[in-house]
Structure 1
Amino acid sequence: MLQACLNGSRNRNDHPAIPFTSEEIAIDAEKVVRAGAAELHIHVRDEQGSESLEAIDVARTLLAVRERVSGIPIGISTVRSIVPDSGARMQLMRSWKVLPDYVSINIREPDAEWIIATALSLGIDVEAGLCSEADAERFAAMPGCEACLRILVGIHEPDSGRESAAVRQIQRVLKRVGCTLPILLHGSERTMWSMYIEAMLQGFGGRIGLEDGSMLLSGITAKDNEELVQTAKLIEGRF
């Protein structure tokens, strides 16, 4: 499964094709789905282009995307930097009238348990983000962790080995506790493509998009998310 991460917290200084408005995000979503993406991961923006969890911004974005790519699962980020106050973030989530299919929640964040519980209580699936063995241990100890949709493993430091040592450490913890949730693997910048290739080798899902990096394997900057996804599908075809 290929997930496209369209924008993240990046701006147009990072890449001119970063989509901000709901219409830009929807157009980009249609392009990457046509190119082969099976899911979407989006950082919702307000009308000024700032990241937002406000109900009106979430609804506007989700409705615009679903109008163009009906039936494609859409996830949005709840990263703490968007709304640092835990209570305010949970209150905003409870105010949503239009719901995403899933939310991504970083387990390293101190309020991860609360945000997970809030999402699940609303009927929203959870993609649990792990970046380290410590994250995996914490996640495994959470009551009801198996209720999550999947685990998103993010590895952001290059490893000279054929497979990432950090991925192996996380897998060992999950195996020890009998966690059988699906895994989606991703990197960023220097690790984006190596982690995507590792995902293909191990039979995991993979994630590609301008949130994670803009370089093609050739070292040339990609034109947009569509070109990144097209490249990812070419690689997938070799496995």
Structure 2
Amino acid sequence: MRIVACLNGDRRPGAHPALPVSVDQLVADAHAVVAAGADAVHVHPRDPGGAESLEPQVVASLMEALRSEGPDVPVSLTTSLSAESDPWRRYDLVQRWASPLLPDSVTLNLHEAGSVDLAHLLEDRRVDVEAGVWTVEAARILVATKMRVSAVLVEPTQVAVEDAERNANAILSLLDRARVGAPRMLHGTDATAWPMLEAAVASGHDLRIGLEDTMRLPDGTEAYDNAALVAHAASLAAAAA
């Protein structure tokens, strides 16, 4: 059971006192979450102003620092349209990422325009694709295209826990029926983050937690930082082992 630490997401700088934005902050935070029990890190690269960016120079600077100064764990980057709203420009930017400094994998939301074309590009570039599946319709895209993925991220976006659970179960059921064999990671956002993580632990799926997904511990108190969130997730996983 892997634990992936999602360090910053699309949260605005200052949304949490410990939200890592700069390259130095992300490198330091990567070390902290690995020490707390994470097996990999997921990052939304940021430009010097703190905005999400897929620009080649931004990605290269981040990856160079993580490879040379960060912990020796897999690095996943986003390709979300929140970082680049034009799918064709996104394709061009990813195509221009420097090959010696490519991430191990990227997350790719299948409901977003241009996702299938980008998946083909990433396969050509030998970057693993973690398919972001938010809905049953997105799961159908995965099945219909026979897309080669290293993991399926089941990501219900409903606000209410019961609605999120219902959506996640429908997605997982479709994946089972279609015999999609890739490892699965189940996670929620904010109010659903911990219930989805607990469901993932109970089902033996991989886990994801971090300030991208929630800024609070299960009791509602604000987490001190990403490492505190990861440490709590690791303790839940260890208790269930």
Taking structure 1 as the reference length, what is the TM-score of the superposition?
0.94
Equivalence for 1:88 = 89
Superposed displacement of residue 70, structure 1 = 4.2
Cα offset, 1:117, TM superposition: 1.0
Say whether 1:211 aligns with 2:200.
no
Letter in 2 for 1:75: S
Aligned residue type for 1:110: A
1:36-74: per-residue Cα shift (whole Å, max 9, x none)? 100111000111111111111111111212223343110
2:107 corresponds in structure 1 to 104
- Which ranges of structure 1 fall in alignment gaps of 5 or more residues? none
Asked if the contact 1:77–1:104 (Cα under 8 Å) also holds between the matched residues in 2, the reply is: yes
Distance in 2, matches of 1:70 and 1:8, equals 19
**Structure 1 letter corresponding to 2:152:** I
Q: Which residue identity does 1:238 align to in structure 2?
A: A
1:132 to 112, 131, 135: 135
Q: Normalising to structure 2: TM-score of the pair?
A: 0.94
CA deviation map 1:14-57 (0-9, x unaligned):
21111111111000001001111001110001111111111111
After TM superposition, give the deviation of residue 160 of structure 1 in Å: 3.6
Quote the Cα distance in structure 2 between the aligned partners of 1:13 and 1:65: 22
CA contact (8 A) 1:66 1:72 kept: no
* TM superposition shift of 1:184: 0.7
Aligned counterpart, 1:232? 233
Question: Does residue 141 of structure 2 align to residue 141 of structure 1?
Answer: no
Q: Does 1:118 align with 2:127?
A: no
- 1:173 positional shift: 1.2
Q: Would the aligned equivalents of 1:40 and 1:73 in 2 still touch at CA under 8 Å?
A: yes
SS at match of 1:75: strand
Task: Give the match for residue 195 of structure 2.
Answer: 194
* Other structure's SS at 1:237 match: helix
> How far off is 1:177 after superposition?
1.7
Residue in structure 2 matched with residue 159 of structure 1 by the alignment = 161
Residues in 1 aligned to 2:71 and 2:21: alpha-carbon distance in whole angstroms: 20
Distance 1:112 1:89 in 2: 10
Q: Displacement, 1:202?
A: 0.3
Residue correspondence of structure 1 range 167-178 to structure 2 within 5 A: 167-178=168-179
Inter-partner Cα distance in structure 2 for 1:160 and 1:150: 24
Judge conservation of contact 1:152–1:186 (CA < 8 Å) in 2: yes
Which range is displaced more, 131-140 or 120-129? 131-140
Question: What's the CA shift for 1:164?
Answer: 1.8
Q: Measure, in 1, the Cα distance between the counterparts of 2:70 and 2:38.
A: 11
Report the residue type matching 1:8 in the other structure. Answer: G
3-state SS in 1 of match to 2:239: coil
CA distance in 2 between counterparts of 1:151 and 1:135 reads 11
Structure 2 match to 1:61: 62
Aligned length: 236
1:122-175: CA deviation from partner (whole Å, max 9, x where unpaired): 110000001111111121111x41x211100112323349x9221221122112
Name the residue aligned to 1:24: 25
Q: Which ranges in structure 2 are unaligned for 5 or more consecutive residues?
A: none
User: Aligned partners of 1:90, 1:218: CA distance in 2, in Å?
Assistant: 41
What is the alpha-carbon distance in structure 1 between the residues aligned to residue 121 and residue 142 of structure 2?
A: 16
In 2, Cα distance between the equivalents of 1:49 and 1:168? 36
Q: Among the aligned pairs, what percent are the same residue?
A: 33
